[in-house]
Amino acid sequence: MSDTPVIEIRDLHKSYGKLEVLKGVDIVAHAGDVVSLIGSSGSGKSTLLRCANLLEDSQQGEVIFVGEPVKWKGHGHHRRPADHAQMIRIRTNLSMVFQQFNLWAHMTILQNVMEAPVHVLKRDKAEVEASARRYLDKVGIGDKCDNYPAQLSGGQQQRAAIARALCMEPKALLFDEPTSALDPELEQEVVRVIRALAEEGRTMLIVTHDMRMAADVSDHVVFLHQGKIEEQGPPATLFGSPKTERLKQFLSATVPA
Are the beta carbons of 205 and 172 closer than 8 angstroms? yes
Instruction: Look at residue 256 in the predicted model and tell me its pLDDT.
Output: 62
Does some domain include residue 2? no
Going by DSSP bridges, is the β-strand pair 80-81/172-176 parallel, antiparallel, or unpaired? unpaired
Does some domain include residue 152? yes
What pTM was estimated for this model as a whole?
0.93
pLDDT digits (tens, 9 = 90+) for 66-83: 999 999 999 999 999 999
Does some domain include residue 1? no
The percentage of residues in the chain with a pLDDT greater than 90, rounded to a whole number, is 91
Does some domain include residue 49? yes
Query: Total domain count for the chain?
Result: 1
Q: Please report which confidence band the pLDDT of residue 257 belongs to, taking 50, 70 and 90 as the band edges.
A: low
Measured between alpha carbons, how far is residue 101 from residues 96, 109, 143, 195 in Å? 10, 12, 19, 19
Does some domain include residue 12? yes
User: Domain limits at 16?
Assistant: 7-254
Type of residue at 217: V
Does some domain include residue 77? yes
Does some domain include residue 170? yes
Kindly report the number of other CB atoms within 10 A of residue 53's CB atom.
22
> What's the alpha-carbon Rg for the chain, to the nearest Å?
18
The answer, yes or no, to whether residue 90 has pLDDT greater than 80, is yes
What are residue 31's phi and psi, to 5 degrees?
A: -55, 130
pLDDT digits (tens, 9 = 90+) for 226-250: 999 999 999 999 999 999 999 999 9
Are the beta carbons of 3 and 187 closer than 8 angstroms? no
Does some domain include residue 56? yes
**Which CATH number goes with the domain that contains 237?**
3.40.50.300
